[in-house]
Chain A
Amino acid sequence: MTASTPTASVIRPKRVLPGFGLTMGLTLTYVGIIILLPIIALVLKGAEVGPLRFLEIASAPRTLAALKLTISAAAMASVLCAVYGLLMAWVLVRYDFPGKRLLDALIDIPFALPTAVAGLTLSALFAGNGWYGAVLEPQGIKVVYTIWGVTIAMAFTSIPFVVRTVQPVLEDLDPQYEQAAATLGAFPFTAFRRIVFPAIFPAFVVGISLSFARSLGEFGAVVFIAGNLPMETEIASLLAVIRLEEYDYNGAAVIALTLLILALVLLAASNLLQARAMRYKGKRQ
């Protein structure tokens, strides 16, 4: 309101457009009520217990087992996504083949599919009577109710990250450098390692850290396939939910805060890396 009155536009001649007060008011109210307030509630509940009790809850055996499972499964899932993502980005950018556009669109399915649907489908596929389980279980490979199930559920839900971060960078990279290297006698793999990989590395790392952060927090897909045995296949976010159901609000808040801090640190680090890579790119041009 004030910004659009004549006096205000004299003081701030740049604000010709109306709606500053209105949109500012709407945005702040909404962000305050919907986003900020609940997060403050979490931080307050977590801080309420004090640093000593916080550490005690965070390092209780069951919490540690859940965190260890979550982090190791998320790490394995990220490796899977890294390999698949690099392959897909390379194939989609550098080669032409029938069905390429369809394949490109298919990659987004894990993001579009609700996580509960993904969890249901994967657990049924890998169960003893499912299409995959029927092949794997006679070989002695059990996926459902094991860490492998957790890993596969996490990997499925974060498949698109690496593809979608590496793909645009690869598109910008002129293939003539690799061709030059090949002309100079470099083997295809050497050309890839020395020329392509350094260029896509920052985007690759960003994609991997996004996959990792998403895997740490994945719930819907995992609870269906994990079996959720305490100390064995119980992920950290599920333990937080169990604490809530026991009315142990502080316990839940501590676990949730630990996960939140882990994810935010990871994303901040990847943002920093991305910013540095951009600056580097800017200098070269």
Chain B
Amino acid sequence: MSSPLPLSPTHTAAPGQGRLIPRLLIAAALLSSLLLVVIPLAYIFYRAFAAGWAAFAANILEPNTLHAVWLTVLVALVVVPVNVAFGIAAAWLVARFRFPGRGALLTLIEIPFSISPIIAGICYLLLYGRQGLLGPWLAAHDLQILFALPGIVLVTLFVTSPFVMREVLPLMQAQGSDQEEAAVTLGASGWQVFRRVTLPNIRWALLYGAILCSARAVGEFGGVSIVSGSIRGQTNTLPLQIELLFNDLNIAGAFAAASTLTLIALLALVAKVVLERRR
């Protein structure tokens, strides 16, 4: 009971000081996150619904915005399955086989993460554009890639290509190939091994990769802005429509479009938290 007495003043001061610093740091962290992340997020919905539900609905149902929603969904519907297939194939190749150039291939697959989307868009224009590498050939065969759906899809494929592989590969490597080898030894065909053994093992990582890929595909701006030509009501995806409305000074319309994309981003985050607990 009398133990506090012999303690020197510095020792009694220490615990108080020890509680003060954490509290200050936590307060600083909360405040800065509030200013940097939470308020901007809340502001999107505030501006989208500032004039009420009816105005919001009118902004979303505006024909060009509605067309942009449809085009964005269409692009994602093409891009995500292709990149899921690519992600599985590439992960299987890298995780299950040793071959010369394996490291180089892995670096190459990850390159879209280190290249800014705008540079990706420029690359595609320099390849398929009128003065581009394949431009004359495309013109001679009357093929339209740029300023049309194929160009938008191709750039989005580039930008989102590593997502699925990146989630699936570490899991495949960690799980090893014992189960699959056993299945092969027991006479299963390649397709059976994949469907009965591999797929159940990687399904959550695959789903998570597909969600990341979709979120990114839906929100892609820089790369798509270069190759789409931003033709109103034709090649405008939702992020491009936001810029167009912003430049038209239709800020309420821009925020209405932005809020739908934000909702998708938030859903992807929730899915991430849920799937991480599952694994």
Find the residue from B17, B115, B122, B124 having the highest chain A CB count within 10 A.
Answer: B122
Q: Does B125 belong to the interface (CB within 8 Å)?
A: yes
Find the residue from A35, A106, A224, A253 having the highest chain B CB count within 10 A.
Answer: A35
The interface residues of chain A, by DSSP majority, are classed as helix
Among B119, B127, B184, B266, point to the contact of A112 (Cβ < 8 A): B266
Q: Which residues, 97 to 121 on B, are CB-close (under 8 Å) to A?
A: 97-99, 105, 108-109, 111-112, 114-120
Would A256 and B26 be within 8 Å (CB), given that A17-B96, A249-B131 are in contact?
Answer: no
Q: Does A218 belong to the interface (CB within 8 Å)?
A: yes
Pair A103/B119 contact, Cβ less than 8 Å: no
Q: Mark A84-126, 1 if CB is under 8 A from B, else 0.
A: 1001101110110101000101111110111111101111110
Contacts of A249 in B (CB 8 A): 125-126, 129, 131-132
Pair B251/A159 contact, Cβ less than 8 Å: no
Among A90, A112, A217, A218, point to the contact of B115 (Cβ < 8 A): A217
Pair A131/B43 contact, Cβ less than 8 Å: yes
Closest Cβ of chain B to A44, distance in Å, is 7
Pair A237/B242 contact, Cβ less than 8 Å: no
Pair B126/A117 contact, Cβ less than 8 Å: no
Q: Does B175 belong to the interface (CB within 8 Å)?
A: no
Closest Cβ of chain B to A257, distance in Å, is 9
Closest Cβ of chain A to B98, distance in Å, is 7
Q: Does A269 belong to the interface (CB within 8 Å)?
A: no
Q: Does A230 belong to the interface (CB within 8 Å)?
A: no
Q: From A160, which residue of chain B is reached at the shortest CB distance? A: B37
Would A260 and B115 be within 8 Å (CB), given that A17-B96, A103-B30, A108-B272 are in contact?
Answer: yes
User: Once bound together, how far apart are the Cα atoms of A107 and B33, in whole Å?
Assistant: 8
Closest Cβ of chain B to A237, distance in Å, is 4
Stretch at the interface among B56-64, B136-144, B200-208, B216-224: B216-224
Q: Mark A207-218, 1 if CB is under 8 A from B, else 0.
A: 000000110111
Q: Does B209 belong to the interface (CB within 8 Å)?
A: no
Contacts of A114 in B (CB 8 A): 218-221, 239, 261, 265
Q: Does B51 belong to the interface (CB within 8 Å)?
A: no
Q: Which residues, 188 to 240 on A, are CB-close (under 8 Å) to B?
A: 188, 213-214, 216-220, 223-224, 237, 240
Q: Does B177 belong to the interface (CB within 8 Å)?
A: yes
User: Once bound together, how far apart are the Cα atoms of A114 and B129, in whole Å?
Assistant: 26
Pair B222/A219 contact, Cβ less than 8 Å: yes
Q: Does A247 belong to the interface (CB within 8 Å)?
A: yes
Contacts of B233 in A (CB 8 A): none
Pair A31/B181 contact, Cβ less than 8 Å: no
Closest Cβ of chain B to A32, distance in Å, is 9
Q: How many residues of A contact B (CB 8 A)?
A: 86
User: Once bound together, how far apart are the Cα atoms of A16 and B98, in whole Å?
Assistant: 12
Closest Cβ of chain A to B164, distance in Å, is 12
User: Once bound together, how far apart are the Cα atoms of A82 and B26, in whole Å?
Assistant: 17
Contacts of B240 in A (CB 8 A): 116
Pair A23/B177 contact, Cβ less than 8 Å: no
Q: Does B32 belong to the interface (CB within 8 Å)?
A: yes
User: Once bound together, how far apart are the Cα atoms of A217 and B115, in whole Å?
Assistant: 8
Pair A27/B93 contact, Cβ less than 8 Å: yes
Q: Which residues, 6 to 26 on A, are CB-close (under 8 Å) to B?
A: 14-20, 22-24, 26
User: Once bound together, how far apart are the Cα atoms of A39 and B119, in whole Å?
Assistant: 9
Q: Does B70 belong to the interface (CB within 8 Å)?
A: no
Q: Mark B235-246, 1 if CB is under 8 A from A, else 0.
A: 000011011001
Closest Cβ of chain B to A275, distance in Å, is 13
Pair A124/B47 contact, Cβ less than 8 Å: yes
Contacts of A19 in B (CB 8 A): 92-93, 96, 190, 194
Contacts of A4 in B (CB 8 A): 190
User: Once bound together, how far apart are the Cα atoms of A13 and B21, in whole Å?
Assistant: 61
Contacts of B112 in A (CB 8 A): 35
Q: Which residues, 35 to 83 on A, are CB-close (under 8 Å) to B?
A: 35-42, 44-45
Pair A116/B219 contact, Cβ less than 8 Å: yes
Find the residue from B22, B154, B268, B272 having the highest chain A CB count within 10 A.
Answer: B22
Contacts of B218 in A (CB 8 A): 114
Q: Which residues, 2 to 18 on B, are CB-close (under 8 Å) to A?
A: 17-18
Contacts of B220 in A (CB 8 A): 114
Contacts of A95 in B (CB 8 A): 22, 25-26
Pair B114/A131 contact, Cβ less than 8 Å: no
Pair B258/A38 contact, Cβ less than 8 Å: no
Contacts of A39 in B (CB 8 A): 111, 115, 123
Query: What are 11 sample pairs from A and B whose C-beta atoms fall under 8 A apart?
Result: A4-B190, A24-B97, A27-B90, A30-B89, A38-B123, A87-B29, A106-B33, A117-B239, A241-B118, A244-B125, A260-B115
Sort A-B residue pairs by CB-CB distance and give the 6 closest, nearest first: A217-B116, A114-B219, A38-B123, A18-B190, A41-B127, A220-B221
